[in-house]
Amino acid sequence: MLESKTAFQTDPVKVKESFVDFIALDAEDAQSLADVILSKIAADDLDFQDCRGQGYDNAATMAGKHSGVQRRVIQVNHKAQFVSCSNHSLNLAGVHAVSSNSNSVTFFRNS
């Protein structure tokens, strides 16, 4: 049996994640954070228009859909869709669940 490629088939897509850097911040507002992110991408000679996603915790500064970092970034590249980071959400849920039970607070505080 012969395999043929249609117009819609392409080579396999490879997703690659890499640690970029630790960056000292002068300010922690959404505009400053977005500027630092975009500046770092440019400084590393990466094409931000190739970005297809962004993920942060659910803090308003990062995830705010009207004025957070995700909104400012998507204004530069509309293809960089925001996805909430499930790990951050799970961590916050665990922290709040544990802090609401005095036995848990005592146990983890002594650990």
pLDDT tens over the chain, length 111 residues:
455 555 666 788 887 777 889 999 999 999 999 999 999 999 999 999 998 889 888 888 998 889 999 999 999 999 999 988 888 778 878 888 878 887 877 776 665
Assigned domain for 12 exists:
no
Assigned domain for 1 exists:
no
Assigned domain for 56 exists:
yes
Assigned domain for 49 exists:
yes
Assigned domain for 37 exists:
yes
Assigned domain for 90 exists:
yes
Assigned domain for 68 exists:
yes
How many structural domains are present in the chain?
Answer: 1
**Which structural domain, as residue segments, surrounds residue 42?**
30-110
pTM greater than 0.85? no
Q: Could you tell me which of 50, 71, 49, 52 has the C-alpha nearest to residue 62?
A: 71
Assigned domain for 10 exists:
no
The CA-CA-CA angle for residues 19, 23, 25, to 5°, reads: 150
